[in-house]
Every structure is written in C-alpha cells, then in structure tokens.
Amino acid sequence: MLTTFASADAATAQRWADRTWIEAVREIYWGKFMAESDQAVIQVKKDLEGKPGDKLTYYLTRKLSGAGVTGDAVLEGNEEQMTVYTDSLTLDQVRNAVRLGGRLSERRTAFDQRTNAKSVLKMWLAEYIDDDIFTQFDASPTDVQFAGSASSIATIVTTDTLTVSRIEGLVARAQKASPKIWPVRVDEGDYYVLATHVDVGYDLRQSTQWLDASQEAGPRDYSKNQLFTGRLGVVGGCVVHAHEKVPIATNYGAAGNLTGASMPFLGRQAGCFAWGSRPEWWEKEFDYGAQIGFAIGAIWKFRKSVFNAADHSVIVLRAFRTSN
C-alpha cells in the first residue's frame, strides 16, 4: 500500500492532536499517581492551561497544633497563627519531530507513516516526562534513608537489600515525621507508594517475608484505583511498584564498586504537575510536498514539592541491588 503523503487538513490534524494527547498521557508511568485532587501523590494543576502566564504558585498549610480553649476561657486574643508555606514552578516547552524520506523511499514502506510517527512521538514524550519526574524526586533529597545496616552510600554492602521490615520502617518514619507525611486515602485504607528499581524488586521477592507480607488486604476492588495498577504487592500500608527508570548507581560501597538504587517513598502531594497546553501535533511538507515531517510538543512542568526548604512527602531510600 502506498503511503499517503498529503498533509492533513486542520480538522484531521486536530483529531490527531486529540488522540496523541489521550494516548501520550496513558503512556506516562507516573500518570497512575496523578489527579487534580489533593489526595493524589502528584497533584495536577490546570490553572495555567490555555491561559497567559507561565508561573504557578501553590501552597501548604500546616495543621494547627494549639490546644484551643475550653469552658468559658476567652478565645479572643488567643487565636492560633496559621503557618502557610509556598512553592512555585515555571512552565517550559518541549518538542520533538521526525522527518520522513522522499516519495521513492516511501514506496518501499508497507505501513502508515503518520500512525507510526504518532506512536514513536507519543512514547518519546511519555518517557521524557517520566524521566524528568524520576530525576526530580531524586534530586537534592532532604530525607535519605538506607537499607540494612548502612548509614551512607560508602557503608552499603551486598546484604543491604530492600526488605519487608525496611518498608514497614519507612511507613513508621512517614507517620512520625514533622510535618507528617500523609498517605493517600483509598476507600477506607491509607497507602504510601514506594517506587523500586526492577532489580531491587527482584531482590525483594527473594525475601522469605515477602510472599506472606505482600498479600496484605487492600481495597475491595483494586481495579478501581490506578495506584495499585502494576504493583508488586502491598506491605504495611505501602504499595510497592517497580520500574526500570528508577535512578541507579554503580559506585556504592567502601570501594565504590557496588550497584545500587535510589528509590522514592511517597505520600500525598509529593509533587505538582502543571499543564500549560496539552500535547499538540503538527505536520509540515518539505521540498514541494516530496517529504513530510511530524512533530509533537507540550507546555508543562513537574516539580517535587519543597516547602520551607524541605522535601514534602518524599523519603529517598538507597539500597544495594543485584544487577540482573
């Protein structure tokens, strides 16, 4: 079948843009943790979508800690001061494109180039966004913990792997933190998220504790909440996931020759994601219509939530990993 080379009309291009938007968002790994609600791990803000301006400021109000007054005690003049922290992000644009060969080379192609271009570009955008989120969660962490008995990267040894008890320890740390790291509420349950590297997930599943612990009861219907989609298991109120893009290292240990991973443990509102414009699709002809190019772009920004110079709802766990 000969590929049609003509550029799409405006209506067709818009349909392709809409499809690309939907499919690209579905491909984003972190999409399952995103929602407009403040109950999400990553809160999505649409304040700037389709509007002028490129900077978004968002707020965190600390819970009140005072005792209040009782009985007939006077409240006026004894009000409690609210503590409000702010953070902000600035939108940026990212684009990429593919340019096809001439008509002669297209005659040798047995598939729809427009469909193929859409597929590779939407995947590129999704991976670009995922890479950025993984990188930011690991950047300059203010709360770093270690697996096993390690207390630093240099003291990590091969037995300092991720275990069920270490996950339970992270949950306890989050609950006692000041300010508290709040879990995500799903039905009647509260859950944190730990994104492990796939190698660490392998190590974890070798633990004799894992099989029983990972069968912990969760919501009545896991399928109703994406938080659980693709999970390794649920341990002590923590949904454990694994992904190959989790930051890894090869310089752990005293000699700097051990493989490791740096994994984000997350609670509610750990990050903020803002759209300035949804992913757009462009087509352009070159050389009097003999060649055609396809492009994708979006205006967006992700930022790890940092309030009062401290990460909010993020603990980074570093552990040895078996390099498979």
> pLDDT by residue (tens digit) across 8-41?
455 555 555 555 555 666 789 999 999 999 889 9
Q: State pTM to two decimals.
A: 0.86
For residue 157, report the phi and psi dihedrals to the nearest 5 degrees. -125, 175
Find out whether the peptide bond into 141 is cis, omega within 30 degrees of 0: no
Within-domain flag for 105: yes
Same-domain status, 131 and 276: yes
Per-residue pLDDT of the chain (324 residues), as tens digits, is: 233 334 445 555 555 555 555 566 678 999 999 999 988 999 999 988 888 899 999 888 778 888 898 999 999 988 888 888 889 999 999 999 998 876 666 655 545 677 788 888 989 999 999 999 999 999 999 999 999 999 999 999 999 999 999 999 999 999 999 889 999 988 778 999 999 999 999 999 888 788 777 765 555 555 566 788 889 989 999 999 999 999 999 999 999 999 999 999 999 999 999 999 888 888 888 888 778 888 999 999 999 999 989 999 999 999 999 987
Range of the domain at 120: 10-63+80-138+271-305
Number of domains, the chain: 2
- Let me know whether 275 and 301 are in one domain: yes
Same-domain check for residues 198 and 162: yes
Residue 220 lies in a domain: yes
> Is 238 contained in some domain?
yes
Asked whether residue 39 is domain-assigned, the answer is: yes
CATH of the domain at 294: 3.30.2400.30
Do 127 and 223 belong together in one domain? no
Computed from CA positions of residues 178, 181, 187, 188, in that sequence, does the dihedral angle turn out positive or negative? negative
* Cα 303 from Cα 271, distance rounded (Å): 6
Let me know whether 200 and 260 are in one domain: yes
Q: Do 132 and 84 fall within a single domain?
A: yes
